[in-house]
A and B are shown apart, each in its own frame.
Chain A
Amino acid sequence: MAPLRAQLDPDERRRTARHAILPGFGPDAQALVRGARVLVVGAGGLGSPVLYYLAAAGVGVLGIVDDDDVAASNLPRQILHGGGDVGTPKTASAAASLRALGSPTRVVEHRVRLTASNAEALLAGYDLVVDGCDTFATRYVVGDAAARLGLPVVWGTVLGWDGQVSVWWSGAPDGRALTYRDVFGEQPPEGDTCSSAGVLSPACGVVGTTMAVEAVKLLTGTGEPALGRLLVYDARTSTWDGVDLGAPTNPDPRHEGESEGWAKVHHQPPLEGEVATGGNTLVIDVGLHPVVPGALWVRLDDLAAGELPDALEAHPVGDPLVVVCDQGLRSRGAAGLLRAEGWLQVSATTYAALDPHGAAGFGHD
């Protein structure tokens, strides 16, 4: 989990001053919030507090996935939307409410239903997914796609007087690499929903706000996220219980495949030499200083600000981009930005993987 650190301008430093002085958080964590790209699935009862808090906190890019229109019965709990929004797309109404907050967050509307065929492409442009949708079908699509991509998912659900929150991350360390399926198994038939069984409106706020807390902790590496723990909320008594989750004893072979998927993202296999020199491939070095001979060196901050050098602007969107840095974290973040800018074949790697034998003289110290 490593969004890029984005530089805060003086206005944003002033706006986020309470985070800057917060013990255990500080300006460095806020810079990670500013550089983060978060996809929120569902702009409803849970998505409303999640999106409000993440936008207000200054998350760099917030994607909103929802294909629904606002209905009058949504209004008591889906507080992004107002009476005047009934009948209009939730993504548009949500985006308007978030922009009114005056934070520097870029809001991206994805007015689509997330399906197995579009999920991976959508999720791949983000550092973190927050799942507050309202069907098992979409939750399993989100869980499976994120597990394959190695993206963490802040997951929350609410019904009646009850709520649950956890963090699924197929790439998590220390035996906490759990996925939605590890705990809840195969997809059950769609059961009761908020429209059939009702829901206590402010309970959505409690659960959704807890999801926002988990998201901010994951993005910044602060606190202790609910990895390997299921948080269970009972609004009748205003009580939270924690269920400690064990690593699966008999890993499903599919999950092993998914873990490899994560490994592909985070530990790129050594690239072939010709990739670096191939005619159509542009290698972009996002290290603190230029390291790779012949590569285009780009400052991450410029990339985050959308200031692209001419040589990059001129690179056809269909041709491959290889982004490289020392640890693979800056390059991964930069790759996400470049995909969002429209390039279709972007991979991230490290100096060592690009030059495994040190033949070019930069792969090893």
Chain B
Amino acid sequence: MSVETRTTTVEVRAFAAARAALGWAGRAEVVPEGATVAEVVAQLAAAAPAAGPVLARCAVLLDGRRVPDPASAVVRAGSRLDLLPPFAGG
């Protein structure tokens, strides 16, 4: 008998090159309860390996705030993650 992992659902929006690499603009992502921002991003990269490099460059906002340390910021049910690749063209 396996132990069921409790999960939670977060809203992820991808912009610009992250949107192009992931192939979607936004979706509800089911993640293990207590997952960190870094773990959510790793889960997205595992599902779309080609997106790995652009995800690594992204500014990640959790509920509109920059996450200084993605490995320690824990997401909650209904959290919103925005993936913003930086670019500087003008």
Q: Is B31 an interface residue (CB 8 A)?
A: no
B8 nearest CB across to chain A (Å) = 20
A-B contact count (CB 8 A): 93
A215 nearest CB across to chain B (Å) = 15
B39 nearest CB across to chain A (Å) = 19
Q: Mark B36-70, 1 if CB is under 8 A from A, else 0.
A: 00000000000000000000010101011110100
Quick check: B90 and A133 within 8 Å, CB to CB? yes
Interface centre among B16, B66, B68, B87 (most CB of A within 10 A): B87
Quick check: B63 and A246 within 8 Å, CB to CB? yes
Known: A244-B64, A245-B64, A246-B64. A136 touches B86 (CB 8 A): yes
Q: Is B19 an interface residue (CB 8 A)?
A: yes
Residues of A within 8 Å of B61, CB to CB, are: 183, 243, 245
Stretch at the interface among A20-28, A44-52, A353-361: A44-52
Bound-state CA distance A194–B87 (Å) is 10
Known: A241-B15, A248-B66. A191 touches B88 (CB 8 A): yes
Known: A191-B87, A194-B89. A159 touches B16 (CB 8 A): yes
Report how many residues on chain B are interfacial, defined by Cβ distance under 8 Å. Answer: 20
Bound-state CA distance A133–B88 (Å) is 7
Q: Which residue of B lies closest to A181 (CB)?
A: B66
Interface residues of A in 95-140 (CB under 8 A from B): 131-136, 139
Q: Is A36 an interface residue (CB 8 A)?
A: no
Known: A182-B66, A246-B63, A250-B68. A241 touches B13 (CB 8 A): yes
Residues of B within 8 Å of A194, CB to CB, are: 89-90
Quick check: A134 and B90 within 8 Å, CB to CB? yes
Quick check: B89 and A159 within 8 Å, CB to CB? yes
Q: Mark A131-161, 1 if CB is under 8 A from B, else 0.
A: 1111110010000000000000000111110
Residues of B within 8 Å of A159, CB to CB, are: 16, 87-89
Q: Mark A19-58, 1 if CB is under 8 A from B, else 0.
A: 0000000000000000000000010111100000000000
Bound-state CA distance A162–B19 (Å) is 10
Bound-state CA distance A241–B88 (Å) is 19
Bound-state CA distance A243–B66 (Å) is 12
Q: Is A193 an interface residue (CB 8 A)?
A: yes
Task: List, sorted by A's number, 12 A–B pairs whose CB atoms are closer than 8 Å.
Answer: A133-B90, A135-B88, A156-B90, A157-B89, A158-B87, A159-B88, A159-B89, A183-B84, A230-B84, A243-B13, A248-B65, A250-B68
Interface positions of B (Cβ within 8 A of A): 13, 15-17, 19, 57, 59, 61, 63-66, 68, 82, 84, 86-90
Query: What are the nearest 3 A-B pairs in CB distance?
Result: A162-B16, A246-B64, A159-B89
